[in-house]
Structure 1
Amino acid sequence: MSTQDNIARFHYTTEQKIRAWYTCGGDIDPSTLTFDRSWPHISPKLHDIYVERARYLDSLAEHGVLVDGSMYENFFVEVYIRYYQARGAGGGSCGVQGEEAMPLTTFDALLGERIGRRMNIDVNSLETQDSDEDNTDTHPTSTEEIASHLYGIQPQSESTMNPILSRLETAVAKGIQTLNNLQAFLTNSKPEIENTSDVSDWLSEITKIKQYAAPPKVIIGIIGSTGAGKSSLINAIIDEENLLGTNCMHASTVAATEIAYNYRSGKKYRAEVEFVSRGEWKRELRALVGDLKECKGDEGSLGDRGLGGNSEAAVAIEKIRAVYPVLSVTEIKELDVEGLLRKDGVCDVLGQTIVVESDDPKAFARDLAVYIDSKGKCSKTATNDTGKGKAPMQTILDNHPATKTTIMTAYWPLVRVVRIYTRACALSTGATLVDLPGIFDSNAARVAAAEEYMKKCSAHWFVAPINRAVDDKVAQGLLGQNMRVQLLMDGAVNDLTFICTKTDDVSVSEVPESLLKRESVSPDLGEGLEDIGVLEEWLVGAKSEILDIAERLEELGVCSEGGGSQGSSPGKHKKSISVSVQRPALDNTCEMQSNSGLVSDLVLEDDTRTLNDRRKGLTSLYGALSTERYTKETLEHENQVLQTNLIHEYIQARNTYSKKELKHDFARGIHAFHSRSRHVPSSTQDPSYCHALEQDLSVFCVSTCAYQKLQGRLRREAPVSGFSALEQTEIPQLQAHCITVTEQAREASALRFLFHLRRVLDSIRLWATVEDGARVVSQGKKVEIEARYYIAEESFKREVERTCEGLMQGICDILTLNVIRNFGDASILASKKCDETVKDWSDLNYNTYKAVCCRQGVFRFHNWNQELANLVIEPLLCDWINAFENEMPLEVDWFTQLMKTHLQAFHTHAISAAEIILSDEIKNELKEIWKVQYKVMKRDVVHTVNRARRKQRGINREFAVGVEEYLHPAYLKCAYENGSGMFHRMREHIRTQSTGIELFQHSTDRVKSELIKLLDKIEHDLISITTRLMEQTTRDYTTCIITPLVQQLTSSSQSQARIKREAADVAREAETELGLDELLNNVNTTAATTGTSHGRGPWEGDGRDGQRERHALETIKEEDESE
């Protein structure tokens, strides 16, 4: 498009084609829309509209505002589609050329929104897109569908799946079908097969293998303070406008909320709301009523204005009145807990799980808000007006009288957890987002639910607004002492992600001063700031000049109407107009020619001038006015573009600065924590360790509002400036990160399934390949072969059992030497520091101290149990991490290498024993069999040990549980204290109970007991794995060596031979179709390694047998190179 006419022609044909599409309601053949040939014949008025539009776009293109090249067409197709989509169908004759075109002001507004300008769009019909009505039209409706239908433009795919994982998961999907076919074949053929025990084993294996195909659930915990924007963030990630309620005035969610993919057919949105049990609510009520009774005062002083919003009594009143809204404070105090439990059918929901389903996101969010919004109430009058059926809670309420209590009851204090299922692309690979507002809750049941999720989290996302993320040291603040210890014990420091929200929260006035403090800002912006000021001054002069021209134009009009016989003096006619305000010349961004010469001096000559001359002057002056107005509009647009670009660059600069500071702050916080401890490995003091922490930490700076606006949502919200593309909001990157987090678990799961599938197929093919009585040997030779084979088999089993026992002894030694043996010294150290910790609690005010005691040591941000547990954890921290993250994986590597040696030795001895009866084909098959068996076994063992390492997350929390158990009598005494001097007595109860080493011995004994249970579980799983390995391996070798010897004098029936041929064909075709040989041989071998998640924390070789560990590592390296 080299000329303005070509540009105008393109916009005419594009807009008219889309206008015709909507005029006809989508019922039109695109091939009939031939507006390109109509361009030379359109009316001058319509032609001028598009030429003016082309000239306007030319002015924008000069300053690099618009896209170029192949993206140009796609860009404007979306602009026109959006405009006519908002207007809807109708308004013209289908397929007939009209004289309608989008006004330039509207075009400018829509274009400005597409390139990220802050403008007020005066297109009233745009609000119609926010309608609740369902659109049942079968024609294309979305921008992408219409663009594809009319122009063949396909939406760009942003696949985040790596190619290897894609192939693996495709093979898993096909493998499930293969197993189903194989299962049906074996079931139908079983009556005709002579040796049915093998068939039964295969059928049992197939059933078990199919369970491995289930997608792994990867839990991502989202943590942040109230108002950080967690709910808005989740809505953006799952591409919903308001599925989780958001509110800037109060916490929008109060219970742990799990959001996962909805794999079920049926309704698109589904939620399960789980309520606390009767016992849990009883305990909570007892604590709440206790808080209320501790606060003295009458009804008025205990009202909302008489208490601090965060005081214990205020929280108690809010929760109790939410469930029992009719009761006054006095009535609440007078009633006992049992009396409250009997009130108005509240117990009917306790312990239940209610399901909410809908295809309408707004209706679903409205019904769900009753349970998760801290201001949500369940009203009987608001549920069935639409005739769409009753809400789940309504059914319960209908069983009770329609009293004021039931009408206004809020159920959020009774909810333990909410599980939401939706079909969001970001969750389709198994990621499960969990909003954890209950970590610092006063409700014990919700705290327990949040803690349970924390133990299972594969990743932790910390959320904070960007304007507080750096200044408030959020990386250190969110990772407080308890959180740091917990993450280190869990081995989860490498799984953190920081998310800075509200990056669009910026005003133009703060940009210049702030930009001066950033090093990464473009030097052109300083000139841009000056340009904006100069342009604004020039525009004031331009407006005054336009008024002068308009006044003169009106005067000339009067003159022309009077035919030169005005009653005014000649001096008045000789009034001249000159352009006194000249636009300054600007560099690059705003250069235009000065307007000082646009309007020449117009002097009215004497009354003898003809009317035609005056008309000619009038036309010239009118053209000057139009040019001046167009120039003014262009300059205003340039000003807005400059401001937009400036805000965008400021946002990007602040994002870059925030990411750098957060990474540095995080690494500095972890390093400072290690520096204060005397029990950490020397590797953590290495500068490279801190550098690795800093570099590998994922940080995102996101704008959920800008993302939603660019996606066409939040239409009633003000436009967001500074964002012209989705990627600038960083939400697409975060969605991709959400998928990436699941890749490691998905790859391990897929490989485990495929290796098991490969082993079953090989086993069946081997059975089908062996020919009965193929080679006849003498009786003596037969006995010799059998004897040598059984000797090899017994030796193999003996070595496997001994190696398994060695692994268990090794793991037991690791835990004993690194952890259990140090419990005594750690308890002594902890007891010496305990007094100081308990003394610090005495500084709390009475109400908070009493609230903590009534809740067994945990209330809001206070967790006394964890604080005391940290005293004994800190001396154990280094050795605990070393045991589970370093030495245990090394022990497993040693074990798997020995098992490989045993398998290889058994294969060699078995082949040697039966050399004369085995064909080369069978030998090669057996060689592949033992290699696959080894890889299957290795992944099963790795899976077992990794599961044990995850299990230790729950075990290390038993330190705090042991503390709580030991302090329970003291907590109980404090809860029942009353009267004068009670605060002193409460503190004395806690001090007395927590003094001495017994507290920490009780805590460590509980952990020791759990570690022993873990060892028993590992041993049980390892015995199961090795037993299965021995049975399956010897079965296959027996099939090839012993079975033919036993059946020398007999031959299989025709049906048996047919079944074997069919089985071999099924197995061979399945392996060929899936490409298992190539896929599994070329897959990255690191999927089965068991080191730390990011390879940090180098193994120091200080285990119980450093030489053996180094040998194991060298063997692994050699194996990887040879294979």
Structure 2
Amino acid sequence: MIKLDCLQALKRETSPAKLEAALNAGVGLLADIQKAFADASTVPEIAKWCKSIQDLQAQSGKQRTVVGVVGSTGAGKSSVINAVLNQESLVPTNGMRACTATITEIQYNDADDGQESFRGEVHFVTEDEWMKELHILLDDLQAPGDNRSGDSSTGAEFFGSESAPAVAYDKIRCVYPHLLRDDILKRKFTPQGLAQDPSVASVLGTVKEVRARTIKEFNEKLQVYIDSKEKTKGRQKDSDRTTEFWPLIKVVRLFVKSKVLEPGLVLVDLPGIHDSNAARSSIASKYIEECTGLWVIAPITRAVDDKAAQTLLGSSFRRQLQFDGTYSALTVVCSKSDDVSVTEFLRTMPESHKIHSDFATLQLLQGNEEQLKQELLPIKNLLDQNKASLKTCEDSMEILETAIEFAGDDDDQILVKTRLSVASKRKPKDTDFDARKRSKQDQEWREESDFGNDSDDDLDDAEYAEDTETISMEAAELRLKTLKAEKKALKEQGSDLERRAKGVRKQLRETRHECEHMKALIKSACIQFRNNYSRPVIQQQFAEGIRELDQENAAMQDEENFDPSFEARDYTEVAARLPVFCVSSRAYLKMAGMLKKDEPTTGFLSIEETQIPALQDHAMKIVAETRAAGCRKFLTEVSSFIVSLIVQIIIAEKPLKLADDMKEKELAFLKEALAKLTKELHSTVDKSFNGFEKAIKAQIIDKFESSIRLATTTAIETAKTWGQFRDQDGKRGLVFLTYRATCLRDGVFKATRGPLDWNQELCDPIEKRIAPNWEQIFSKTLPRGIKHLGKELAKSLEDFEGRMHERQQLRDSPSYDLVRSQMKTVGENVKDTISLRGRTSLKTGQKNAIRLLKPAVADMMRGQYQACSQESGKC
């Protein structure tokens, strides 16, 4: 059984593996104690202990470590997730609408059944949520006073690409394919009626489960719910269309066996927090709040130029990270690192770079390759001629041998057939090309026709003609001997040519291999050069974004005394702490033995160069940090429980034996000391919390009054900008349909030009003013206060133990030394518990508190938004 002092020491471990082993040992210890209590579990005191054990055991399980993945369309999010999970196609990458519009959560599959290697849950919106969206969609279709029902166009062709009415029309048609165009435009139905349509009502508020043994089978089953027919070629007949469920999906959960997910990692593909679907938008916001890590995916070809780390998330989102204290949770992943043009890089890379000498070597090798090809060509021609001549020689030998064999013993003369080329008769002088052609033709003998003749017409139809001659037996044998010698010479010549050709071919193969290797080296150098260039630039851009945010907040706090040269933090450190990975998902999957139908990848000399393994390790590190904190918390709780148990057992086994008068005196002293301890502990806690409240009031609450006045003053001007006519550059103002769609969605809309959040704009003056103090309070002041509180409480317990040590009668108790040693453990556990629980509660409260502001503003604005959505007519 693990010793208590070992348990205390293990809490200080930094190794995740040792902490995990300690947790398992703690679980085993609890199981042993529970087993010992089994026969006495009905005893009230024992029952309490058993309940405590069950509560502790519940804390030992894996903790969710949520990592959100965000990025623009086409950034390669799905491919990166697949590569990290070592899956070829778990998250579809073919543009299925649900995969880009729906939140997809991926976690470990703990099912042991091989038939459930892949599991999925498709969660649908409730009837109320769908009816609310239907009201908005129908309002999008037709502005007040606007009549389009007579037009023959529909969808995007009618309303304009990606406009709110076009999206609304297409979404309704996807879910209700039986509805006619005019029925939709004239609203010949109610949201209630649509929501109660049998094909839709059967899925609203439900969770559809999908199970499969193979990924192919799994994707086929999942596509029933998430696939979109928008890319189907040609127009379908209304009667052929079926209900598409993707607009009704709230979240998709996938469960898969993966080494990366097994420790508790949960990857969440987040399409954005400005989704037009209110239910999905709310869930996305909750995931962001829960996230331990956040990966921003951007193609490397645009990551630097587009300042992905600085602008992709937007200033509001970066400020949210500041409020949450989660700057350190951000990771930038530059995808498609294999998308590189060697020619362009050769023009831009420094002349001193080794790539230029490598390219010169490549050119030399390519020259050698071409030279070897030219050297091989005449050898191949000679080989062809040699083979043709050998065939002719062997055919002539066969004819002579046959004639000699069938000749009589007394025959001095024999009739010998000869085979002549027609081309040879007609064109005695050939070019090299003709000679090569003839040598090939010589191998294509034709059988003699029984009715053949020597007419020109017959010759025109045949490549060869046959003739006969009469020669003596002696001449025939001499000719045969000559042909045998010629055959031998031709074979020797052919063998020599083959040896020469084999040598040249070997050199050619080696040269080609060197060329391919050099090309890979050059492309690899280009990829690594861009990776090494992009990483610090992206880090610096991110730090600059934080600097701009800090300066904006500082100017908003005190514009008169604003000093732009003042640095609120070490921005060099901010840059250095941002993890940046430049990955190639396709190359990794190909080199890992997947994507077998794809062309081989180039530019990566090892699978590690794709940086997917490094990203996997990074993900595991995030989980390890969360898991380590969980292990320490569990070990602290177990230690406290065991100390309490030991103390009670010791006292029960070895009670203090004193005379009645002495016992009363010691009990009176103990009660007084305990009362003093209780008072000290309460006083310490009250003092600390009063300090927390004063700090929060001075730094945040008191700032609200002036911030609210500022927000009230600027709100009118801010709202006016929403209703401005759109200028030619599209930088100011909104088109009416976008304005109205935003009003219908209570101020939040994902427009073509980008996400709109009017409620956030109204909150900005307040948030900008309190942001620096908020970060100071929650990142430094309160954590220091919590740590100090733990130390003060531990000191009070230490002082109490010291006062007890002064009592001679207590020191003489048989159980005193054991109890005293446990008291020291209690003091350590108090510090750890206060620190762990305090940080957790503080982080949760920090995130929850700031999120109360915007919903309050949205509630106040809801009536105004609805009124504005009904505006119509000309200005």
Asked if Structure 1 and Structure 2 have the same fold, meaning a TM-score greater than 0.5 normalized by the shorter chain, the answer is: yes
Deviation string, structure 1 residues 722-764 (Cα, Å, up to 9, x no partner): 1242211111111111111122221121111112222333333
Does structure 1 conserve the Cα–Cα contact (< 8 Å) formed by 2:122 and 2:209?
Answer: yes
Aligned to 2:26: 175
1:719 paired to 2:600 = yes
Gaps of 5+ in 2: 1-12, 398-419, 433-481, 725-732
Matched, 1:942 2:836: yes
Q: What letter is aligned with 2:58?
A: Q
Name the aligned partner's letter for residue 312 of structure 2: L
Instruction: Indicate if the aligned counterparts of 1:546 and 1:629 stay in contact, CA closer than 8 A.
Output: yes
SS in 2 for 1:440: coil
Residue 912 (structure 1) aligns with = 806
Aligned residue type for 1:868 = L
Q: Which residue of 1 aligns with 2:205?
A: 351
Task: Determine which of 176, 191, 199 is the counterpart of 1:337.
Answer: 191
**CA distance, structure 2, for counterparts of residue 611 and residue 515 of structure 1:** 56
Distance in 2 of aligned mates of 1:716 and 1:522: 39
Q: Give the alignment of 1:600-639 within 5 angstroms.
A: 612=488, 615-639=491-515
> In the alignment, does 2:154 pair up with 1:302?
yes
- Indicate which of 66, 77, 94 corresponds to 1:219: 66
TM-fit CA distance, 1:328 = 2.6
Query: How far 1:251 moved relative to its partner?
Result: 6.8
d(CA) in 2 for partners of 1:781, 1:615: 123
Measured at CA, do residues 331 and 458 of structure 1 come closer, stay the same or move farther in structure 2, by a change above 3 Å? Answer: same
Once the two structures are TM-superposed, the CA of residue 211 in structure 1 deviates from its matched residue by: 2.3
1:674 maps onto 2:550 in alignment: yes
Name the structure, 1 or 2, with higher relative contact order (CA <8 Å, separation 6+). Answer: 2
What's 1:531 paired with?
Answer: 361
1:339, CA displacement in angstroms?
3.1
After superposition, residues 227-266 of structure 1 pair within 5 angstroms as: 227-248=74-95, 252-266=99-113
Say whether the 8 Å CA contact 1:253–1:374 is kept in structure 2: no
User: 1:872 is matched with which residue?
Assistant: 766
Task: Verify the 8 A CA contact 1:417 1:446 in the aligned structure 2.
Answer: yes
Q: What do the CA deviations read for 1:230-256 (whole angstroms, capped 9, x no partner)?
A: 111111111111111111586733211
Listed as ranges, the matches of 1:568-607 within 5 Å are none
Pick aligned residue for 2:714 from 833, 836, 846: 833
545 and 190 in structure 1: CA distance in 2 versus 1, 3 angstrom threshold: closer
Tell me if the contact between 1:270 and 1:421 (Cα under 8 Å) persists in the aligned partners: yes
1:366 is displaced (CA, Å) by: 2.1
Change in 2 beyond 3 A, CA 1:557/1:418: closer
| Structure 1 contact 236–731 (Cα < 8 Å) conserved | yes
3-state secondary structure, aligned to 1:305: helix
The answer as to whether partners of 1:209 and 1:757 remain within 8 angstroms in 2 is yes
Judged with a 3 Å threshold, the aligned counterparts in structure 2 of structure 1 residues 905 and 310 are, in CA distance, closer, same or farther, namely same
Identity of counterpart residues, as a percentage? 29
Q: Match of 2:736, as an amino acid? A: Y
Q: Does 1:513 pair with 2:344? A: yes
Q: Distance in 2 between matches of 1:947 and 1:916?
A: 39
Distance 2:14 2:567 in 1: 36
Partner residue in 2 for 1:498: 332
Task: List per-residue Cα deviations over 1:275-307 (Å, max 9, x = no partner).
Answer: 111121111111111212237545542244344
Distance 1:405 1:210 in 2: 57
The CA distance in 2 between the partners of 1:212 and 1:190, in whole Å, is 21
- 1:327 aligns with one of 162, 173, 179: 179
Instruction: For residue 532 of structure 2, give the secondary structure of its aligned residue in structure 1.
Output: helix
Equivalent pairs counted in the alignment come to 758
1:125-173 CA distance string (max 9 Å, x none): xxxxxxxxxxxxxxxxxxxxxxxxxxxxxxxxxxxxx972211112212
1:644 to 494, 514, 520: 520
C-alpha separation in 1, matches of 2:623 and 2:386: 76
1:757 is matched by which residue type in structure 2? V
**Which residues of 2 match residues 342-421 of structure 1 at below 5 A?**
342-375=196-229, 408-421=242-255
Query: 1:455-854 residue pairs with structure 2 within 5 A?
Result: 455-506=289-340, 510-518=341-349, 523-557=353-387, 562=393, 612=488, 615-678=491-554, 679=557, 685-686=566-567, 689-770=570-651, 776-841=657-722, 842=724, 843-854=733-744
- Partner residue in 2 for 1:270: 119
Q: Contact between 2:801 and 2:823, CA under 8 Å: does it hold in 1?
A: no
User: Would you say the 8 A contact 1:752–1:940 is kept in 2?
Assistant: no
Deviations 1:934-955 (A, max 9, x none): 4245324531442232232132
Q: Deviations over 1:641-669 (max 9, x none)?
A: 21111111111111111112111111111
Partners of 2:96 and 2:636 in 1: how far apart?
54
Tell me if structure 1 keeps the 8 A contact 2:297–2:335: yes
Query: Matches of 2:286 and 2:334 in 1, distance apart?
Result: 26
Give distance in 2, aligned partners of 1:950 and 1:374: 38
Structure 1 distance, partners of 2:491, 2:644, is 100
Q: CA deviation at 1:175?
A: 2.0
Q: Give the distance between the partners of 1:299 and 1:186, measured in 2 at CA.
A: 80
The structure having more radius of gyration, on CA atoms, is 2
**Could you tell me which residue of structure 2 aligns to residue 209 of structure 1?**
56
Pair 570,323 (structure 1): closer, same or farther in 2 beyond 3 Å:
closer
Q: C-alpha offsets along residues 431-479 of structure 1, whole Å, 9 cap, x if unaligned?
A: 1111111423211111111111111111111111111111111122213
Amino acid aligned to 1:164: S
Counterpart in the other structure of 1:1097: none
Contact 2:177 2:241 (C-alpha < 8 Å) held by counterparts: no
Provide the C-alpha distance between the structure 2 equivalents of 1:553 and 1:891, rounded to a whole number of angstroms. Answer: 91
Q: Which one of the candidate residues 440, 445, 453 is aligned to 2:279?
A: 445
| Aligned CA distance change for structure 1 residues 322 and 771 (closer, same or farther; 3 Å) | closer
SS across alignment from 1:777: coil
- TM-score w.r.t. the length of structure 1 is 0.63
- Residues 572, 330 of structure 1: alpha-carbon distance in 2 compared, 3 angstrom cutoff: closer
Instruction: Provide the alpha-carbon RMSD of the alignment.
Output: 3.3
How far apart are 1:702 and its partner, in Å? Answer: 0.9
CA distance in 1 between partners of 2:868 and 2:834 (Å)? 50
* 1:283 paired to 2:146: no
The answer on whether the counterparts of 2:654 and 2:814 sit within 8 Å (CA) in structure 1 is: no
- Residue 162 of structure 2 is aligned to residue 313 of structure 1: no
Select between 287-296 and 443-452 the one with higher mean Cα deviation. Answer: 287-296
Partner of 1:454: 288
| Conserved? CA contact 1:231–1:245, under 8 Å | yes
**Matches of 1:910 and 1:476, distance apart in 2:** 60
Aligned partner letter, 2:363: G
Residue 613 of structure 1, CA deviation: 5.1
Superposed displacement of residue 411, structure 1: 0.8
d(CA) in 2 for partners of 1:932, 1:943: 16
Q: Which whole-Å CA distance do the structure 2 matches of 1:684 and 1:353 have between them?
A: 55
What residue identity is the alignment partner of 1:813?
A: K
Q: Residue 337 of structure 2 aligns to a residue in which SS?
A: coil
- Aligned partners of 2:120 and 2:255 also within 8 Å: yes
Deviation sequence 1:928-983 (CA, Å, 0-9, x none):
334335424532453144223223213212221121111111111122333x23xx
TM-aligned CA distance change 1:201 to 1:609, over 3 Å: closer
Contact residue 469 and residue 662 of structure 1 kept, 8 A:
yes
Q: Which residue of 2 aligns with 1:858?
A: 748
Q: What SS does the corresponding residue of 1:322 show, helix, strand or coil?
A: helix
The 8 Å contact of residues 892 and 942 in structure 1, kept in 2 or not, is answered as no
The separation in 1 between residues aligned to 2:429 and 2:169, in whole angstroms, is 84
Deviates more, 1:950-959 or 1:273-282: 950-959
